Structure 1
Amino acid sequence: MATFIEIQGARIHNLNNINVRIPRGMLTVITGVSGSGKSSLAFDTLYEEGKRRYLMFSGTQFIVDSTAHFDSITGMSPTAAVEQRIIRQSNPRSTVGTRTKIGNLLAVLFASYGSRHPDYEDGEPLSMEYFLRNSPKGMCVKCLGTGQYHHLDEEAIVPMNKPIKDVFDGFIMKHRFYRSSFKKFCELYDVDVNETIGTLSEEVLTLFKYGCRRSGFIGAIVVFHDIYKHSSSENNRHNGADKVVLWGVRAERIACSKCSGHGLSEHAIHTTVAGKTISELEQLEIGELLQVLRAFKDELPSSRALLDEMTLKLSCMSEVGLHHLSLSRQVPTLSGGEIQRLFLASYIIAEMDSIIYIFDEPTIGLHETEKALLIRVIRSLVKRGNTVVAVEHDEQFMRAADYIVDIGPGAGVNGGNRIFQGTLRQFMSCGESRIAPYLSGERSLMVKQQYKPIDEYKMLTITNATLHNLKGITVSIPLGVMVGVAGVSGSGKSSLIHHTLVPKLKQLLRGKFVYEDDDNDLAIEANEAMISGTEPIKRCIVVGQRPIGRSKTSCPATYTGIADRIRALLARTEEAMAHGYAAGLFTVNSEGSCKACKGEGVTHYHGGAGNFVEVECELCSGTGYAEEALSIRLDGRNMIDILEMSVSEAAIFFGRQQSEAYDRTIHTILTTLERVGLGYMTLGQKTTTISGGEAQRIKLAKELCKPSGRDMVYILDEPTTGLSFADTEHLISLMQQLVDAGSTVIVTEHDPSVLSNCDYLIELGPGGGREGGEVIATGTPSELIRHEHSIIGSYLRKAIG
């Protein structure tokens, strides 16, 4: 068997025809600055080729790849990858239990050994489907398994003093879809539309609200629900910043009252095993659930094999640092790092060998104390005879690697070269690398020497925070400074900031609140917390890590709005005006799309057995644009040429004041993207290929381009995700600029280099889950170093030096 995986001539994206050797049966870290080409090598080359070969020989699917992105790869074996940018989810029914399949095992346990409450005994035998919220038999009929629904004030929707004809500003009477059935309803029940709703009899009022089968009228409340869902969907698609308000009626997302937020049917809720319901077990933290299931083995000896399988999976999840989660925890609420560790647990359970495992920053979301455990777990995969390749920036992880591959030296067109391959000791003396000097101690990250003073009269205070594991804590966050929120995984950081402070600020600030991650609206959970001290805040911007863009054609240019301005510039060129071309010609979503592939750049062919093959469109050569759209050039560049530029190249192109391409707004946006460390990214990069950390910085740049001033509040969620040492230094500088301008930055973070540059720290803990939820230390980084209860303090001492 080959001792190395040999990659010859890798040239996808910015890779410059490089040759790389990766030792088999070892832990290899691929490092380099952001955008250097690490993921192109690990995922787009190594993983994709391993997957292609497996599928080619398995007979399950055939693949047509018109372009080879390398000369050869030898020493391969099957590959498995966990890439943070492709595993984000938004389905509220997807939980830790469904993702790990432990929920299915619990459902089997309850179907086999469950005892139903006599009041819910219907003679039907219990089956697994009764205990799955994704099943028609198992889901709550009110919330359809989501555990939440939009609460609407019916009295506000149909006020008794309003004339019937004026309901929803006359919408029902005017809209052609409802008009005829409503007219029939009025004729059937002799309803005078000029009278008020309060004049209707109780029977007719009920029919008016909820629908009448005889007339076909679906009811005013149902009409409102339908319109609300449509408006809410539109609002989310266009990154709306606030709740949908229709005819003065607002809707709040709340826990379902019928199932108490569990999402399960009455049969499931009223069936027990050893006195426990499935909901009670799903809400336990994994550590507690392990104890309960082990006790079940004595009470239910015949279920031992099933319980052994569940405890094995739960033990693996605990090993990778997920002990604080519960099976009922919704996957969309997990961080990218937590999701990756869910997959990692499944790999350990599988007990396979001779596999190439590829990870994308597995240390994301982990406290410094937890990284050693993760490294030990990943090394156990290596001991079983597997090869592990990780794209990683973390110093502790790099020092644990057997082998280092450095890609660079810079990003984008300035990267894509193999700078180094070899051991860590050899890497330390690599003069060309931008990473090695930080490991050798030759360079170190900036450390704040003076902390900005705290104004005791400008404090944002959270009182009685009890959500999830928070133990009724009161926390004061100083305004006008950089505030870091630290703590081990599951200590309560997200519960405090993103699930308590953020929803409460949204309620209080309304139009002054910006939150682009609001896909499913912010669920207002049973939350007794109170917020005070918001008066000085002029605007609050929350920047999270959810992917940006929802369409196949979405890219940084479209997301930031510069694509519209580029199209306008193209439409104003002499040639475009001579042909009568409008701006719509320069988008694949309108007139400019290729007639053969409809703007996708590929054509789809059915390959049998439900499989489809994508082949580059011959008519447009994969661009997605019609020929006439690409015939127009702006200062020598057509739309494709422009989209293929990096942010840094485009900043120069659109910043030349004497050229026809000059646009001050575009230049400002692009230079801001450079400031957040994204100069390497191309304008046309598909948003589906953008990592969580990159997405967060694009959102931040978009906000920084808007008019701002003092008294802004920026809330950031682990912004160092995907950043190298040098990029992290750049981000710290940017956050400090915001604070120097009179704004507040609240950052949830594990990286000691970021926390050591905060003016004030709030540390939660001491542990995760039930062992956390308390404030264990507050103060400046220097004060936390001396604090006897601080856990992050010892790591801050190393960072500060």
Structure 2
Amino acid sequence: LSGGEAQRVKLTKYLGRNHLNDQILVLDEPSTGLHPQDLAGLLVVLDRLVRHGATIVIVEHNTDFIRAADWIIDLGPEAGPRGGRLLYEGPPEGLLAVPDSRTGQALKEEANLKPRQPSPTPDFEAPAIIAIRNARANNLKGVDVDIPKGKLTVVTGVSGSGKSSLVGDVLQTEARRRYLESLSMYERQGLSEGAQAPVDSITGLGVTLTVAPQLAHLWSQIPQFTRRNSVGAISEIDFHLSVLLAALGKRTCLDCGTEMMRGNEWACPNCASKAALAQPRHFSSAHWSSSCKKCNGLGALQIPQPEKLIIHPDKPLCAGAMYSPGYWPQSYLCKDQPIIAEIGKQYGFDPQKTPWNEMTEQAQKAFLFGDGREYTWTYISKGGRSKGKENQSTWIWHGFYGEGWLYSGDIHGTYTRQVVCSDCGGAGLRPEYLAVKLEGGNIFELSELPLNQLETRLRALALPLSTPSFVETSLEVIQRRLRFLRQVGIGYLHLNRPTGTLSAGEAQRIQLASLLGSRLTALTILVDEPSRGMHPSELAALRQALLELRDEGNTVIMVEHDPMLIRAADHIIDVGPGAGAAGGAIVAQGSPAEIIKQDTPTGRGLREEYLRFSQGRRQPKGWMVIRGARANNLRGENVQFPLGTLTGVCGVSGSGKSTLLMDTLGRALVKKMHSTSFSHEPFQPGEHDGIDNAPQRAFLVDQTRSGIHSPAKYLDLEKPLLKIYADSDDAQALGLTEKSLSQRCSTCRGQGTIRLEMGFLPDEWSTCETCRGTGYYQEAWEVRIEGVALPEINALTIDQVYQLFQKEENLASRLEVLQQVGLGYLVWKQLAYTLSGGEVQRLKIAKELIKKAKNKTLYILDEPTVGLHLADVARLVEVLNRLVQAGHTVLAVEHHRHLLAACDWIVELGPGGGPEGGRVIAAGTPEQVAQMDTPTAPYLRELLEHKR
């Protein structure tokens, strides 16, 4: 109850009493929260109490109460020290004559009030543009740009030109900041706001939604991509399907199996049993009232498998008994948080010396399944403000298999075995909700159907004439989203597919589907390269979906390189002209017809000027064979790949390309190191019979930034540079060595910046004044070569450093490789998070070229053209050809027709996705595949004929 409600409830106990002469009732502002119409009723009640003898004292400001009073006591004249005097006591009429009374003045003014003349409402015009002023994120050079609202705008440019900085680091960062500012302090205290967008102003942005290609397989890092979440939940199809089941579903009786009759409740005509009607929420396993009681809605149980954990029972727990491929569990439980040592003290074993099979059964059970005891131990903090300090920690030990991390993290069965829940059969729901069916299937059975089959099933659904409009709307939304998902090539998915297993492209298309049919308008929708992972045959549906979002009154801004989507735009913003320091400017704006005439990389790309194909295809130097690959939808065929060539593996979405090349071949040949025992993807390669004639070495070239700090550090360029400076005359005269020159600034610990925590506001970062933002010790500034000090190298580009040291063979030869792969514009100490995906990939290839590996290597690339402009694709082809010319083999999963046309050999999987794919439907040179009847052939044929 509110305070006013509580007061009025208390008054009711005095009503009906006839003798209240000895009662004094004190009320504190009883008019609070009351509409003027309700005041009259309250005054009538108070008058009745007075007539029965009660004395009522009210603290009040409401003038209606003051006029109705029998006696007024007015205090004032002001508040605080200037108040506290008795100005008047008596009937209300006398108060008007008191000159110092603010209450009397208010009563006079209210008596003289007259109705105001209505003033015209000013016309409000929504801004027609999103105006960005002085944007300077990363390499942006203080750009001013106007983006039309209600249009489809494409931001494009070569890799590293600054287009993602404009959309992501400026627009998206500012939109996030504005959203967080709308939250209360309490809600914001657990959120990291990050730095403010480096821009002077953005007007007209509006409510903003970002559809980005999240790394969905990193499910533990993204809230919506979790083990409990599914395709149906993210696309919101689950919700609308639940509405259909609740309104139109038919239920069988759990007691006798007879179909029940729907009324105000379910009633069985055979055994007369009854049951409540299900609500839409009851068809979600995430809801407590409907989730299976045995598995808590997960649909599966993790059964402990101690034999997977204790792989060497003849060794001590902390000396090799446990399977620990990474940091966890051995390093964590034995060193960083040494709880096993405390358990050993309790049960009389030494985890460093006592073999597992010599521990008592009681000790083994305590470690595996817990004993409920509270253990306290000391440890040395590795980070934060207490780094290096001794701390204490206390746990109630529930055992290795009793802790929560195992059941939420071990999804690939590193230490457990997953079994389907026997109570719900994997559905995660209680029997009474699984008994409700629509078109012959319950919610679980419908959600297990491939999306294209579910679309067909629901198309046959006949709605009764009495169907409520909201049910019709739900059916319409489902059909619209299913149609889009089928058209963009992921009709092979099902609604129960965990989002943690999706590729980045699949996750992005599902996010887009959730917007279709939502009827949201006036949004600003930011989309980062929606064409990633899509076959050319699927792009038309994506283009139509983006245009539908625009036609519903939204502003769509996307970073994109695909010519088909660029031509569909209303407005194009071309960022460039080059990459890195050579980019960061707006080189062209306008319609596609205007941009195609411009002498810019995008204009030349739209005119197909980047088509460069080799005159003759290279001949294979042998054949590698993957025998009997059967993972996911692969059909167990033997697949041949030519060695010593550039080979493209293509096919529609879900045809099995990544399963064959990355999950089977890649995992079999490239042993991946994991930092923890719980991998985000399986350790083992996909099921296959064997791989014949594989090269001695294999290397995965992806676009992840893991292990990259800066170009100089990644390519090990700092050591030869330090040696050059240490051997210089200045260093010799000052007695400085490589070690002393490499010392880091003690003020900022080599970071170059100092963070100032601002509480609820975003943290402020300032440049370290001691080292001038370089992170180097002061002595390093005193050594100069060609007038350039060692710390000043950090801000120079690779090209500039090459000009300084081109006579130093050890360093110059490495820098030349970077220039040859088109990365000479990168800054020496450019941080990895500012690098584009294409730059990261070329950086990894440059490292391989610098190594000059003697062993013939197989390079495996997964969609290397993602994030690349047509000009970058041409450069990438040149780099890949260099690897092949050096005697290596390159295999690439790819959709980009320009790269496929430049390959020596193409292997196409299909013909469809999911169950309809998994077969080799074409293999040959681009010219041979172009003449076949496959999904890729017409796009290759068009390109090759255009080149002629």
Common topology (TM > 0.5): yes
CA change 1:3–1:101 in 2 (3 A) is closer
- Structure 1 residue 798 and structure 2 residue 942: aligned? yes
TM-score, length basis structure 2: 0.65
- Structure 1 residue 438 and structure 2 residue 605: aligned? yes
Report the counterpart of residue 842 of structure 2 in structure 1: 697
Q: Is the 8 A contact 1:718 1:748 kept in 2?
A: yes
Q: Give 2:759's match in structure 1, choosing from 579, 595, 606.
A: 606
Q: Distance in 2 between matches of 1:363 and 1:258?
A: 37
Report the counterpart of residue 542 of structure 1 in structure 2: 700
CA change 1:403–1:198 in 2 (3 A) is closer
Query: Does 744-753 or 630-639 show the bigger shift?
Result: 630-639
CA change 1:463–1:583 in 2 (3 A) is same
User: Deviation at 1:694?
Assistant: 3.6
Which sections of structure 2, spanning at least 5 residues, go unmatched?
1-124, 221-225, 256-274, 323-329, 376-394
Query: Does 148-157 or 33-42 show the bigger shift?
Result: 148-157
Q: Give 1:482's match in structure 2, choosing from 637, 646, 658.
A: 646
Q: Tell me, what secondary structure is at the counterpart of 1:350?
A: coil
User: Deviation at 1:746?
Assistant: 0.6
- Structure 1 residue 593 and structure 2 residue 748: aligned? yes
Q: Tell me, what secondary structure is at the counterpart of 2:155?
A: strand
Report the counterpart of residue 239 of structure 1 in structure 2: none
Offset from partner CA, 1:153-201 (integer Å, 9 cap, x none): 4597244xx48799738999998754464355359xxx9x999877889
Q: Give 2:891's match in structure 1, choosing from 746, 766, 772.
A: 746
Q: Give 1:359's match in structure 2, choosing from 527, 530, 535.
A: 527
User: Deviation at 1:712?
Assistant: 0.8
Q: Is the 8 A contact 2:659 2:686 kept in 1?
A: no
Report the counterpart of residue 448 of structure 1 in structure 2: 614
Q: Distance in 2 between matches of 1:574 and 1:209?
A: 60
- Structure 1 residue 664 and structure 2 residue 810: aligned? yes
Query: Does 166-175 or 383-392 show the bigger shift?
Result: 166-175
Report the counterpart of residue 902 of structure 2 in structure 1: 757
Q: Give 1:284's match in structure 2, choosing from 433, 436, 449.
A: 449
What amino acid sits opposite 2:919 in the alignment? E
Report the counterpart of residue 347 of structure 2 in structure 1: 185
CA change 1:298–1:10 in 2 (3 A) is closer
Q: Is the 8 A contact 1:492 1:765 kept in 2?
A: yes
User: Deviation at 1:498?
Assistant: 1.8
Note the 1:192-341 alignment, pairs <5 A: 207=365, 210=368, 213=371, 253=414, 256-259=417-420, 268=429, 272=434, 273-274=436-437, 280-292=445-457, 304=471, 308=475, 310-311=478-479, 313-331=481-499, 333-341=501-509
Q: Distance in 1 between matches of 2:300 and 2:794?
A: 40
TM-score, length basis structure 1: 0.76
Query: Does 388-397 or 85-94 show the bigger shift?
Result: 85-94
Q: Distance in 2 between matches of 1:23 and 1:735?
A: 39
Report the counterpart of residue 656 of structure 2 in structure 1: 492
Q: Is the 8 A contact 1:30 1:391 kept in 2?
A: yes
CA change 1:196–1:542 in 2 (3 A) is closer
Query: Does 671-680 or 769-778 show the bigger shift?
Result: 671-680
Report the counterpart of residue 311 of structure 2 in structure 1: 157
User: Deviation at 1:568?
Assistant: 8.0
What amino acid sits opposite 2:606 in the alignment? L
Alignment size in residue pairs: 742
Report the counterpart of residue 531 of structure 1 in structure 2: 690
What amino acid sits opposite 2:581 in the alignment? V
Q: Distance in 1 between matches of 2:139 and 2:130?
A: 21
Q: Is the 8 A contact 1:5 1:76 kept in 2?
A: yes
What amino acid sits opposite 1:790 in the alignment? T
CA change 1:142–1:14 in 2 (3 A) is same
Q: Is the 8 A contact 2:213 2:528 kept in 1?
A: yes
Q: Distance in 2 between matches of 1:115 and 1:692?
A: 54
Report the counterpart of residue 645 of structure 1 in structure 2: 796
Offset from partner CA, 1:312-336 (integer Å, 9 cap, x none): 5444444544323233444454443
Report the counterpart of residue 587 of structure 2 in structure 1: 419
Q: Tell me, what secondary structure is at the counterpart of 1:763?
A: strand
Report the counterpart of residue 505 of structure 1 in structure 2: 669
Q: Give 1:776's match in structure 2, choosing from 914, 918, 921.
A: 921
Q: Is the 8 A contact 2:754 2:765 kept in 1?
A: yes
User: Deviation at 1:349?
Assistant: 3.5
Q: CA RMSD in A?
A: 5.4
CA change 1:586–1:286 in 2 (3 A) is farther
Q: Give 1:615's match in structure 2, choosing from 745, 758, 764.
A: 764
User: Deviation at 1:735?
Assistant: 1.0
User: Deviation at 1:450?
Assistant: 1.1
What amino acid sits opposite 1:361 in the alignment? E
Q: Is the 8 A contact 1:543 1:699 kept in 2?
A: yes
Q: Distance in 2 between matches of 1:99 and 1:567?
A: 51
Q: Tell me, what secondary structure is at the counterpart of 2:758?
A: strand
CA change 1:216–1:525 in 2 (3 A) is same
Report the counterpart of residue 79 of structure 1 in structure 2: 208
Q: Distance in 2 between matches of 1:261 and 1:642?
A: 65
Report the counterpart of residue 520 of structure 1 in structure 2: 679
Q: Is the 8 A contact 1:84 1:691 kept in 2?
A: no
CA change 1:491–1:267 in 2 (3 A) is closer
User: Deviation at 1:484?
Assistant: 0.7
What amino acid sits opposite 1:493 in the alignment? K
Question: Could you say which structure has the larger radius of gyration?
Answer: 2
What amino acid sits opposite 2:943 in the alignment? A
- Structure 1 residue 736 and structure 2 residue 898: aligned? no
Report the counterpart of residue 237 of structure 1 in structure 2: none
Report the counterpart of residue 245 of structure 1 in structure 2: none
Q: Is the 8 A contact 2:130 2:203 kept in 1?
A: yes
Greater relative contact order, per chain length (Cα 8 Å cut-off, separation 6+):
1
What amino acid sits opposite 1:538 in the alignment? Q
User: Deviation at 1:557?
Assistant: 4.4
Query: Does 478-487 or 104-113 show the bigger shift?
Result: 104-113
User: Deviation at 1:762?
Assistant: 0.8
What amino acid sits opposite 2:418 in the alignment? S
Q: Distance in 2 between matches of 1:134 and 1:647?
A: 58
Report the counterpart of residue 35 of structure 1 in structure 2: 160
Which sections of structure 1, spanning at least 5 residues, go unmatched?
234-250
